[in-house]
Amino acid sequence: MAAIPKLSESGQALADSMATIGARMAALPSLSDASVGMPHPTIVAIRRDEFRVLIIAAEVWDRCRDLLSPFADDLARFTARLVVVGTPRDPDLSAALNRGVGALLSEDPTDEQFLVAFHQAFEFMAAKARSESRGKWLNRYRYELGELIEISRALTTEREIKKLLDLILEKSRFVTGADAGSVYVVEGDDRDLHRRQLRFKLSQNDSLSFDSSEFTMPISRGSMAGYVALEQTQVNIADVYRMPAGAPFGFDRSFDEKVGYRTQSMLCTPLVTSKGEVIGVLQLINKKREPQKKLLERADFEEQVVPFDERSEQLLATLAAQAGIALENAILYDEIRSIFEGFVRASVDAIEARDPTTSGHSRRVSELTVGLAKAVERVDGGPYREVHWTLEDVRELEYASLLHDFGKIGVREHVLVKAKKLYPHDLSAVNARLDFVLRSLEVEVLQRKLELLRSGAPASEIRMLDEELTVRRQEITEARQTITQANEPTVLAEGDFRKIEELGRRTFSRLDGTADTFLRPEEVKALSVTRGSLTVEEFDEIRSHVSHTYRFLSQIPWGKSFSRVAVIAGAHHERLNGTGYPNRLRAEEIPLQSKMMTISDIFDALTASDRPYKRAVPLEKALDILGFEVKNEHIDGELVRIFREAKVWEPVLKART
């Protein structure tokens, strides 16, 4: 402290006077709970708890105020107040009050006057401290409430279980100031927890990085997590290396020894569903005095780690209550999604079971379409540069692509799987008819031979009958060959169509004598198809699957996230120029997702190697055909360009090999 300057008479006289006051104060019974001292010869200090009252003379206030500089912080924080003996020359008493003066006493105050001044000063400082404490508590409460609200909002919006667990642990550590933590999830269908198990899902640690993998352990009271799950209670341990006497659980030190960490304080709480069932355990490790500090050295643990306090328990209990329900909802959502995806894939299997020739087509179209969608999102120019998909958008597109042929369940199966122009039973009927004609011809020739032999006709006439039979047999063979060739789903030469028409006019006699033709009108019509294997009526029936797809899918309650599945799937056969089906939509009316699916559908149909009625088209030729479709204004040229440049087909074609 500064030296005592010369005062009104002498510094020593002032010091003697203050020493006398100090002795008087120390002798007062009313100050027995306080300590009296002299931090400076001119200052008497009376301490009670964290508060101090400083007694100074008015001359010190007027001329030696720098002696109070060591107490400036305490005066500013209102943990110290001044009692001035005598009358200061400073007329501005408000300034004196602002500088910490709590009372002004006369030159020779009585003990009672001192006590009243002390009482008022201590009461003022205590009241100020309570006010500040309430303010800090209120600010902390508002902060914590705001954080809990934000955490609650985050927990209720996250549906991915892995991300949700990570979020739960992160926020729990944040509100409690924990350095590390881990999450366990209860597994098993048995309602008895003893027969289920805990799966270690993830861990977090601010101070060090390490690799951790999932593992399972039985739910038992031997582990803290198991005990918490079984008892559905919170456990708070100040130091896990000094477990409370009688604790049923222990602490496994192997982790600390392996990674060089020091687990000390631990707070463990159950995650409980709305039905009161434990579905997880949250374990927090090492509460820190300063949450931003890292625990790297032994001294860091000794200095920073403290037990989890009651407020941490309350905050974690509040957060865990929200987290348990959020996790329950996420698990239920995941189960519903799994059920839904199972339904979708079962529907695809049902479709492909009715049409084995296109097995795998729906899945390949889905992969191609989703791949194209992701490629579209990556472009930074052109009409689709601003296209972005959410996770729900991609799933909606995936479902729509998987189910784009769902309407085939409304198409008659024999039409759906028709590989030749004639159905197998129709071809059998035609062959049986030709067999009958041939057998009837042979019987007729034999009867004529018998008549010639009875009449004694020359051998030359009998040979003529044999030659006639040979010619007629050859005609039947040629007719059969013509029908077999025409039955293939390929483009026929003009002459072949004339032969089919002739067979439709050529007659023979049935057993009852009535006339019949080699080919019935419906058979002639089927064999005269110029492209593929379907008649116009059958092709229309196949095309109707798109309408069936929309109708069937529209009846499924997809929810808001996937509300356009039916619309997207129902438009995959529309064309940009309005010549598609079923609704002849123009380019601007067709959803972008449907345009992408159309390209994928055409590409897979061209390159598929499992179609019995055609060979797989080579990749380059398939891409050329897509180019022709663009020129004919059937499909989107920009999407085809992206499809080609991104080589969207590569994963699909690799999977086939």
What is the 8-class DSSP label of residue 577? Answer: B
Q: How confident is the model over 122-177, as pLDDT tens digits? A: 888 888 888 777 766 666 666 666 676 677 776 777 778 888 888 889 888 888 89
Q: Which residues contact 497 (CB under 8 A, 6 or more apart)?
A: 486, 528
Please identify every stretch of the chain with a pLDDT value under 70, giving residue numbers as ranges.
1-10, 90-98, 135-146, 148-149, 154, 190, 356-357, 490-496, 609-614, 656-657
Q: Which two tokens stand for residue 287?
A: 């509460």
Distance between CA atoms of residues 582 and 574, nearest Å = 7
**Do the strands 266-272 and 278-288 form a parallel or antiparallel pair, or are they unpaired?**
antiparallel
Q: Which residues contact 221 (CB under 8 A, 6 or more apart)?
A: 227, 230, 231, 248, 249
Residue carrying structure tokens 């042929």: 405
Distance between CA atoms of residues 420 and 432, nearest Å = 18
Distance between CA atoms of residues 288 and 294, nearest Å = 9
Write down the pLDDT at residue 647: 95
CA gyration radius, the chain: 48
Q: Which residues contact 321 (CB under 8 A, 6 or more apart)?
A: 272
Distance between CA atoms of residues 128 and 116, nearest Å = 18
Which residue from 281, 248, 247, 254 is spatially nearest to 267, judged by alpha carbons?
281
> How many other CB atoms sit within 10 Å of the CB of residue 282?
27
End-to-end alpha carbon distance in the chain: 91
Reported pTM = 0.62
CA angle 306, 307, 313 (to 5 degrees): 135
CA distances 525 to 33, 392, 417, 480, 488, Å, are 118, 48, 19, 17, 14
What is the 8-class DSSP label of residue 516? Answer: E
Write down the pLDDT at residue 598: 96
Distance between CA atoms of residues 452 and 465, nearest Å = 10
Give the SS3 label for residue 384. Answer: coil
Which residue from 53, 36, 57 is spatially nearest to 119, judged by alpha carbons?
53
**Do the strands 235-237 and 215-218 form a parallel or antiparallel pair, or are they unpaired?**
unpaired
Where is 359: in which H helix or E strand?
none
Q: Which residues contact 66 (CB under 8 A, 6 or more apart)?
A: 2
- Per DSSP, the residues of 233-297 read --EEES-TTSPPTT-S-----HHHHHHT-----EEEEEEE-TTS-EEEEEEEEEEESSTT----S
Compute the 3-state secondary structure of the chain and give helix, strand, coil in percent, each to the nearest 5: 55, 15, 30
Which residue from 425, 419, 412, 438 is spatially nearest to 523, judged by alpha carbons?
425
Distance between CA atoms of residues 158 and 167, nearest Å = 9
Distance between CA atoms of residues 522 and 152, nearest Å = 70
**Do the strands 51-57 and 80-85 form a parallel or antiparallel pair, or are they unpaired?**
parallel
Could you give phi then psi for residue 327, rounded to 5 degrees?
Answer: -65, -40
Q: Which two tokens stand for residue 20?
A: 């006398």
What is the 8-class DSSP label of residue 513? Answer: S
Max CA distance (Å), the chain: 181
Q: Which two tokens stand for residue 159?
A: 């549906």
Distance between CA atoms of residues 322 and 272, nearest Å = 9
Give the SS3 label for residue 463. Answer: helix
Q: How confident is the model over 336-356, as pLDDT tens digits? A: 888 888 888 888 888 877 776
Distance between CA atoms of residues 545 and 647, nearest Å = 30
Give the SS3 label for residue 203. Answer: strand
